[in-house]
Amino acid sequence: MAPTVLFFFLVLLVSYTSSAMVTLNAEDFGSYKGSAVKKFTWTTPDGFSVSVISYGATIQSIKVPDRTGVLADVVLGFNDITSYVERNTPYMGATVGRCANRIGGANFTIDGIMYKLAKNIGENHLHGGIVGFNKVNWESRVEGNKVVFSYLSKDGEEGYPGDLVTNVIYEVREDNSLHVEFKSTTTKKTVVNLTNHSYFNLAGHQTGADEMLKHVASINANKITETDSESIPTGKFINVGGTPFDLRTPTRIGSVINKQENLFDDNFCVNTYGNKNVNFVARVVHPSSGRYLELFSDQPGVQFYTANSLPDPSTPALVGKDGAGYRRHGAFCLETQKYPDAVHHPNFPSAFLSPGDVYTHRVIYKFGAEKKASHSSSH
């Protein structure tokens, strides 16, 4: 036991010296089913920091300076492991899988065999099932300035075929960017579509809908996937031009939601998908603080979601970090992904993974602050 512990701290020591401008620290964050939950925190010289916990390979905190250097934690979450286990039904910050988003009818067919999954949202399947990747304590190891979280999802888990080995690799760089890479391999043909489900509010996690609706967003997408009343894709696409989904130019989120309250919970089809490198996906800015998030990914879609399912003002809030009350439209999510329900639509990018192939998914969250108040347009 002692040599393992010594090795672990030696690796951590290396991580401190491997990037002179970014420090990485590890600490305990309680325990889950008898195993220790670890918390890893990266910090850059200007105070930008990211904390990730091993339970759910979950982003627990991202602190971003505004244009005057004032830090705010811009992701919703909890202060303790008990709250994550018992109350994180919105998947705040979690790694979601095996299959993020919805699978219509909670089933799919591979080589003539139908696999039945949990119906955990109406008659459909959502975010990997009853015990998805968000509800397990991942193994973790430090590699230089990166933390690698690993999980073996066994054949038949939540109804999915194949032993699936997944690594989620987190790294923070000096330019205040968070790099995340997902990798999976399988022993049987299966379905894989992973994402991170962080809820962002660039004014601060506790500021609620009043500030979130002031955010200005742009998304690099000319179309969305059309869905039915249960948010299951029909297989068709909707061009965003002339619709509330036209976020190709910077648009104040509140100006759109105020006109059509059930917005947003939609898959936007990234225009430049197919390029070899990561592509620009979206940019969101909070004008008064200057804080912005720029998102880059190699995935074909991004789910833009404005926390519609958090409690509305007539019901008790979901209590999060530092006693903050989280409510409807108090945050936004940008979940890079394959299109929802891809298993049933051959015209969508495939979500199937075969033995011998490697599922990969790269996403970059770049944070900063505009030096002058934004004059971004809205419509």
* DSSP structure string for 170-214: EEEETTTEEEEEEEEEESS-EE-B-EE---B-TT-TTSHHHHHTT
Q: What DSSP character marks residue 248?
A: S
Task: Measure the CA–CA gap between 65 and 73, rounded to whole angstroms.
Answer: 9
The region, left, alpha or beta by phi > 0 then psi within -120 to 50, assigned to residue 64 is beta
Reduce the DSSP state of residue 224 to 3 states and report it. strand
Q: What DSSP character marks residue 316?
A: P
Q: What is the CA radius of gyration of the chain?
A: 20
Residues in CB range of 361: below 8 A, 6 or more apart? 181, 182, 183, 194, 195, 297, 298, 299, 336
Asked if 298 and 281 touch (Cβ cutoff 8 Å), the reply is no
Asked if 336 and 363 touch (Cβ cutoff 8 Å), the reply is yes
Asked if 117 and 110 touch (Cβ cutoff 8 Å), the reply is no
Active-site annotation holder among 158, 171, 211, 335: 335
Q: Supply 249's token pair.
A: 């130019």
Torsion from C-alpha of 273, 285, 365, 298, nearest 10 degrees: 0
Measured CA angle at 291 (ends 255, 362), to 5 deg: 95
Closest by Cα among 68, 249, 266, 94 to 180: 94
Active-site annotation holder among 197, 205, 286, 345: 197
Strands 107-110 and 325-326: unpaired
Closest by Cα among 137, 147, 160 to 81: 137
Strands 352-353 and 333-337: unpaired
Helices (H), 63-191: 81-87
**Is residue 181 among the annotated active site residues?**
no
Among all residues, which ones are annotated catalytic? Answer: 197, 335
